[in-house]
Amino acid sequence: MLADVDNIDLFLLLEASKAGKHMTIAGRLVNCHSDACARDLRKRIEDAVYSRDLATTRSDERTYYNGILKVLRRRLREVEKELKSRQARLTEGTTATKRQSRSRARRQSIRLLQRAGIL
């Protein structure tokens, strides 16, 4: 009985560690909002488009693949949106840092000029 509890606890820990993860076609777990996830979704979309195009028009198989494509494309848009916002935050952060260092340098220059009696 104790071994069963340990196995259940282990299973729950494994499931909890998967939160925020995406399983690729190869079976690897990657971060949901990563380039690897976006690449995997693109591959899945290509595969689903190929399979859908093999199906005849107005068939249930084609409808099935269209539904899968809708979900995969939505998920890809979410991932790409998150990646773009992360990139924007990074560039915004570096821009703010550059602004801060320029203003700091300007203040130091003014202080030096004032001490020298030029200003």
Q: pTM higher than 0.75, yes or no?
A: no
**Cβ contacts of residue 55 below 8 Å, gap of 6+?**
61, 62, 65
pLDDT band at 1; cut points 50, 70, 90: very low
Residue with tokens 């030096």: 112
Tens-digit pLDDT profile for residues 78-110: 999 999 999 988 887 777 677 777 778 778 877
Higher pLDDT, 67 or 22: 67
Query: What is d(CA 61, CA 63) in angstroms, rounded to the nearest whole number?
Result: 5
Looking at residue 114, its pLDDT comes to 77
Tens-digit pLDDT profile for residues 30-53: 999 999 999 999 999 999 999 999
